[in-house]
C-alpha cells in the first residue's frame, strides 16, 4: 500500500497544480477582476510575504488550499498576469499535463510553442515551456508558460503563468 501511495503522490501533486491553474488562471484569463473577487474568500498573504512572489510588481498572493501540496496563486494588479507557484511538483508530469492543457488551443485559436528550454544548474535542471494562442486578427494573445526545476532548494519547483500579451 505504501508503494502505490508513494507512486501516486507525484501525479496527484501535478494534477492538483494543474487543477488550480486551470480553474483560476485559465478560467479567468479574460476577467482578472472576477478572479480577484473569487479570491476574496481566501486568506491573502501579508505584503512582505507576497513580495517574494510578486517580484516588484503590484498585486496579491493567496495560499491555495490543497491536500496534495503547497501552492500560492499570484495576480498582478497592473498587468493581466496570473501565476501559480508550487513548492514541490514533479517536473516531467507537470510539463506533460501543462502541454495537454495549453498545447492545443480551442477554436478559433491556434497554439504555437514559443519556448522549450532546459538549463542544467548546480542543484538541478530548470526547464521552461511556453505557448501562445492567436487568431489571424488577434492583437491581444494569450500566453502560457511553465517553468519547473528539479532543485530541492528552490523556493518553487513549478511556476505556471497565464497572461494576455500584445
pLDDT of 159 > 60? The answer is yes
Is 60 exceeded by the pLDDT of residue 97?
Answer: yes
Residues 6+ apart with CB under 8 A from 58: 76, 77, 78
What would the pLDDT profile of 33-54 be if each residue is shown by its tens digit?
999 999 988 889 999 999 999 9
**Residue 166, pLDDT score:** 61
Assess whether pLDDT exceeds 80 at residue 1.
no
Please report which confidence band the pLDDT of residue 119 belongs to, taking 50, 70 and 90 as the band edges.
very high
Q: Are 28 and 62 in contact (CB under 8 A)?
A: no
Provide the whole-model pTM. 0.90
CB 151 within 8 A of CB 157: yes
- Give the CA angle between residues 82, 100, 115 to the nearest 5°: 65
Amino acid at each position: 500500500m505504501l508503494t502505490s501511495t508513494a507512486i501516486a503522490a507525484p501525479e496527484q501533486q501535478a494534477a492538483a497544480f494543474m487543477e488550480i491553474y486551470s480553474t483560476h488562471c485559465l478560467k479567468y484569463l479574460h476577467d482578472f477582476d472576477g478572479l480577484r473577487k473569487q479570491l476574496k474568500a481566501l486568506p491573502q498573504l501579508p505584503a512582505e510575504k507576497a513580495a517574494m512572489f510578486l517580484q516588484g510588481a503590484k498585486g496579491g498572493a493567496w495560499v491555495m488550499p490543497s491536500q496534495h501540496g503547497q501552492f500560492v496563486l499570484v495576480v498582478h494588479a497592473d498587468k493581466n498576469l496570473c501565476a501559480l507557484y508550487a513548492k514541490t511538483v514533479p517536473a516531467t508530469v507537470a510539463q506533460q499535463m501543462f502541454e495537454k492543457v495549453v498545447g492545443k488551443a480551442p477554436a478559433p485559436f491556434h497554439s504555437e510553442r514559443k519556448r522549450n528550454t532546459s538549463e542544467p544548474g548546480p542543484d538541478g535542471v530548470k526547464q521552461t515551456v511556453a505557448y501562445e494562442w492567436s487568431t489571424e486578427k488577434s492583437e491581444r494573445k494569450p500566453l502560457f508558460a511553465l517553468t519547473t526545476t528539479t532543485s530541492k532548494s528552490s523556493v518553487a519547483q513549478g511556476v505556471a503563468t497565464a497572461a494576455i500579451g500584445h
